[in-house]
Amino acid sequence: MASSSPAILPISNPQTIESQAPVATPAFRAFINNITENVRSGLSTRRPWSELVDRSAFSKPDSITDAAGRIRKNYTYFRINYLTIIAAVLGFSLLTNPFSLITLLGLLAAWLFLYLFRPSDPPLVILGRTFSERETLGLLIVSSIVVIFLTSVGSVLISALLLGTAVVAAHGAFRTPEDLFLDEQEPGASTGFLSFLSGAATNAAAPVVAAAARA
């Protein structure tokens, strides 16, 4: 009696799965891991907040030159704390403006999933129309300009950054840096959140270059 042949199981096309779920691509995972590691590293090197708000260390600067020197020294020492304050002000401003927050997140998601981490094959199809890499990039650039400059998103971002910078500058000008161990800092060194910028850019550069070559 002849044995029946085994049933053939359907095999999914890995390329199709990857195109339907760009969040699972290695480039996107590397990008998220880089952000997580650098943020964790930056937060671990921040100065104690009690040292930042020590009331006995505040005094009026003698001149504008003295204030500028204090800001420079305090920024070198409290760099991560200052960036955290600016980020907190920016986050609070976006949370109090849900439309700006949702719009900005949508724009960021469009850049990530429609251009940076989207595989080149199959091409992008919207409402039955196929878009090339160059057309997709053009649409994203135009959308970014419209969102940032022609809606309330731009004013919210600029206002929050100016407010956060003003708070940091005021603290740096009135905080006496004589008690700080500034020799621990290396001028020009990029640490913490600053290294996150370069690291994230490095991870994002490869998909952008590849997409530009395809275009």
End-to-end CA distance of the chain: 60
DSSP string for residues in the chain: -PPPPPPPPP---HHHHHHH-GGGSHHHHHHHHHHHHHHHHHHHTPPPHHHHT-GGGB---SSHHHHHHHHHHHHHHSHHHHHHHHHHHHHHHHHT-HHHHHHHHHHHHHHIIIIIS--SSSPEEETTEEE-HHHHHHHHHHHHHHHHHSSHHHHHHHHHHHHHHHHHHHHHHHB-GGGS-GGGSPTT---THHHHHHHHHHHHHHHHHHHHHH-
Q: What is the mean pLDDT of the chain?
A: 74
Query: pLDDT for 110-167, tens place per residue?
Result: 888 777 776 666 667 777 777 777 877 888 899 899 888 888 888 999 999 999 999 9
Q: How confident is the model at residue 84 (pLDDT cuts 50, 70, 90)?
A: very high
Number of domains in the chain: 1
The CA-based angle 117-142-20, given to 5 degrees, is 25
Range with lowest mean pLDDT among 56-60, 68-72, 206-210 = 206-210
Q: According to the model, what pLDDT value does residue 209 have?
A: 47
Whether residue 163 lies inside any domain: the answer is: yes
Whether residue 140 lies inside any domain: the answer is: yes
Query: pLDDT for 11-22, tens place per residue?
Result: 544 444 444 455
Whether residue 66 lies inside any domain: the answer is: yes
Query: Does residue 193 surpass a pLDDT of 50?
Result: no
Range with lowest mean pLDDT among 12-21, 59-68, 96-105, 157-166 = 12-21
Whether residue 24 lies inside any domain: the answer is: no
- Distance in angstroms (rounded) separating the CA atoms of residues 107 and 100: 10
Whether residue 84 lies inside any domain: the answer is: yes
* Residues near 175 by beta carbon (within 8 Å), at least 6 away in sequence: 52, 57, 58, 70, 74
Query: pLDDT for 163-180, tens place per residue?
Result: 999 999 999 999 988 767
The residue count for the chain: 215
Query: pLDDT for 32-55, tens place per residue?
Result: 677 777 777 766 677 888 888 888
Domain holding 151, by residue range, is 40-178
Whether residue 116 lies inside any domain: the answer is: yes
* Dihedrals phi, psi of 181, to nearest 5 degrees: -85, 80
Q: According to the model, what pLDDT value does residue 74 have?
A: 92
Whether residue 62 lies inside any domain: the answer is: yes
Q: According to the model, what pLDDT value does residue 147 have?
A: 86
Query: Does residue 103 surpass a pLDDT of 80?
Result: yes
- Distance in angstroms (rounded) separating the CA atoms of residues 76 and 74: 5
Whether residue 128 lies inside any domain: the answer is: yes
